[in-house]
């Protein structure tokens, strides 16, 4: 097994461990409001991770993203996520609305921590319901195309360490696009060699399946002189 496949397998195992967190929070959050605080906790981790690694947290550490990848994907038609789902106007409008709603609801009883917990829990219920609904009819990661925290991470660090595509090695089989959880148009970037998609969640699934070893990320450990770690099988960093 190559290093890259091992990394991808480890990520999937971590996701299996994280997915129950969102299920438990949704099921028990009303009675145990402390569970609602997983929402700001994940937001905080996303914010810190977003500064240097863009949407890495979306792809590796978000319990809801893990649930979408590992569970919802089995029931989803996996259609291409419509481009307009990623439109900046939609995304930033939703960001302002949801963050504003959280602040207004919390201000209604600012001294009671259980109220805070229930506000976060309710936000998690509503947004997950939208995500699951879209997952059944469009794609399991549809929600992630306009999730406010994803939007923030994308804006903060989505342009750092873009994935690269080696035009000479790519045979345009499009296996990478089939496994991409964000349904990004990876091959359309072949000519310029840089997959400058700030919504990449850095899962490395595309790198692991590429038969031509055409995908890599600059700055990976042990990259060869031409910028690609062929000895290890893939430049699988995030
Ligand atoms: S999987 Fe690799 S070879 Fe196939 S289209 Fe994607 S980058 Fe090109
Ligand atoms: S482009 Fe590759 S690394 Fe980025 S989200 Fe898609 S499959 Fe994952």
**3-state SS, residue 163:** strand
**3-state SS, residue 173:** coil
Pocket flag, ligand 1, residue 208 (CB < 6 Å): no
Position 15 pLDDT exceeds 90: yes
Contact 46, 39 (CB under 8 A): no
Ligand 2 atom 7 nearest Cα: 180
Ligand nearest to the CA of 167: 1
> In the prediction, which pLDDT does 2 show?
66
Look at residue 121 and tell me if it is in a domain.
yes
Rounded percentage of the chain residues whose pLDDT exceeds 90: 86
Look at residue 22 and tell me if it is in a domain.
yes
User: How would you list the strands of the sheet with 215-216, edge to edge?
Assistant: 194-195, 163-165, 215-216
**3-state SS, residue 215:** strand
**Mean predicted confidence (pLDDT) in 57-67:** 97
Number of domains in the chain: 1
Pocket flag, ligand 2, residue 186 (CB < 6 Å): yes
- Average pLDDT over the chain, rounded to whole? 92
Look at residue 197 and tell me if it is in a domain.
no
Look at residue 179 and tell me if it is in a domain.
no
Q: Whose CA is closest to 64, among 148, 158, 131, 1?
A: 131
Q: How confident is the model at residue 30 (pLDDT cuts 50, 70, 90)?
A: very high
Ligand 1 centre and the CA of 156: distance in Å? Answer: 28
Position 221 pLDDT exceeds 60: no
Q: Domain limits at 105?
A: 3-157
Look at residue 51 and tell me if it is in a domain.
yes
Contact 200, 176 (CB under 8 A): no
Look at residue 65 and tell me if it is in a domain.
yes
Pocket flag, ligand 2, residue 203 (CB < 6 Å): yes
Query: Would you state the structure tokens that stand for residue 98, as one six-digit string?
Result: 């949801």
Contact 144, 60 (CB under 8 A): no
pLDDT tens profile 128-178: 999 999 999 999 999 999 999 999 999 999 999 899 999 999 999 999 999
> In the prediction, which pLDDT does 3 show?
76
Position 225 pLDDT exceeds 60: no
Ligand 1 centre and the CA of 93: distance in Å? Answer: 35
CB atoms within 10 A of CB 192: 11
Pocket flag, ligand 1, residue 176 (CB < 6 Å): yes
> In the prediction, which pLDDT does 205 show?
96
Pocket flag, ligand 1, residue 214 (CB < 6 Å): yes
Ligand nearest to the CA of 180: 2
**Mean predicted confidence (pLDDT) in 10-38:** 97
Look at residue 199 and tell me if it is in a domain.
no
Look at residue 37 and tell me if it is in a domain.
yes
| pTM greater than the 0.85 cutoff | yes
pLDDT tens profile 81-131: 999 999 999 999 999 999 999 999 999 999 999 999 999 999 999 999 999
Pocket flag, ligand 2, residue 81 (CB < 6 Å): no
> In the prediction, which pLDDT does 219 show?
66
Ligand 2 centre and the CA of 143: distance in Å? Answer: 16
């Amino acid at each position: 097994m190559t290093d890259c496949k091992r990394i991808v397998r480890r990520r999937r195992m971590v996701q299996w461990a994280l997915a129950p967190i969102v299920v438990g929070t949704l099921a028990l959050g009303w009675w145990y409001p402390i569970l609602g605080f997983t929402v700001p906790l994940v937001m905080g981790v996303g914010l810190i991770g977003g500064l240097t690694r863009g949407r890495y947290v979306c792809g590796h550490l978000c319990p809801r993203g893990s649930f979408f990848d590992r569970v919802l994907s089995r029931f989803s038609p996996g259609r291409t996520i419509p481009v307009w789902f990623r439109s900046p106007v939609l995304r930033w409008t939703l960001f302002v609305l949801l963050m504003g709603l959280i602040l207004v609801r919390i201000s209604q009883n600012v001294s009671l921590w259980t109220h805070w917990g229930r506000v976060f829990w309710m936000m998690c219920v509503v947004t997950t319901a939208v995500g699951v609904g879209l997952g059944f009819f469009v794609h399991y990661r549809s929600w992630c195309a306009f999730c406010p925290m994803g939007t923030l991470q994308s804006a903060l660090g989505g342009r750092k360490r873009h994935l690269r595509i080696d035009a000479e090695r790519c045979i345009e089989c499009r296996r990478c696009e089939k496994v991409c959880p964000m349904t990004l148009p990876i091959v359309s970037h072949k000519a310029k060699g840089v997959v400058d998609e700030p919504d990449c969640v850095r899962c490395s699934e595309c790198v692991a399946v590429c038969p031509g070893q055409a995908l890599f990320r600059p700055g990976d450990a042990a990259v060869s002189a031409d910028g690609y770690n062929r000895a290890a099988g893939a430049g699988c960093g995030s």
